[in-house]
């Protein structure tokens, strides 16, 4: 079964590119353009990973990440900050807000699917050894 991923980006072109790229790599992908849309989508879609644009209209990505990580229903979802903000301290702020990873835009479309696969492999619970 394809691993579910939510792409949250307010730029429709970026969102579509990421959704198509990840779907072609075999992921079950949904997209949202703002925090409210994402929260509504999360009621029926249960991703293992969210690619979180930090600069969103209304509620920003850091605020939404804090909320998701504080909620028992969503705290285990991996969140990778996806942002053009690559100034000193931006990565640290994203990680402090609860992001589990950090990718800068523009995204390298050749390496992103592999980066996502490696992240998801690290996030996966270890196999149980029933003896």
Note the pTM of the prediction, 2 decimals. 0.92
For 4-123, give the CATH class. Answer: alpha beta
Domain range annotation of the chain? 4-123
- Compute φ and ψ for 57, nearest 5 degrees: -70, 145
Q: Which of 94, 88, 87, 31 is nearest to 65 (CA)?
A: 94
58-81 residue pLDDT tens? 999 999 999 999 999 999 999 999
81-97 residue pLDDT tens? 998 877 788 899 999 99
Strands (E), 9-92: 28-32, 49-53, 78-83
């Amino acid at each position: 079964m394809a691993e579910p991923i939510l792409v949250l980006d307010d730029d429709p072109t970026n969102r579509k590119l990421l959704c198509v790229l990840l779907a072609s790599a075999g992921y079950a992908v949904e997209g949202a353009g703002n925090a409210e849309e994402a929260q509504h989508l999360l009621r029926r879609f249960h991703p293992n990973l969210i690619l979180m644009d930090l600069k969103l209209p209304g509620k920003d990505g850091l605020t939404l990440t804090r909320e998701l990580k504080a909620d028992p229903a969503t705290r285990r979802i991996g969140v990778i900050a996806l942002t053009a903000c690559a100034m000193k301290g931006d990565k640290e702020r994203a990680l402090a807000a609860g992001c589990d990873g950090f990718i800068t835009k523009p995204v390298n479309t050749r390496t992103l699917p592999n980066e996502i696969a490696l992240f998801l492999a690290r996030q996966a619970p270890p196999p149980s050894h029933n003896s």
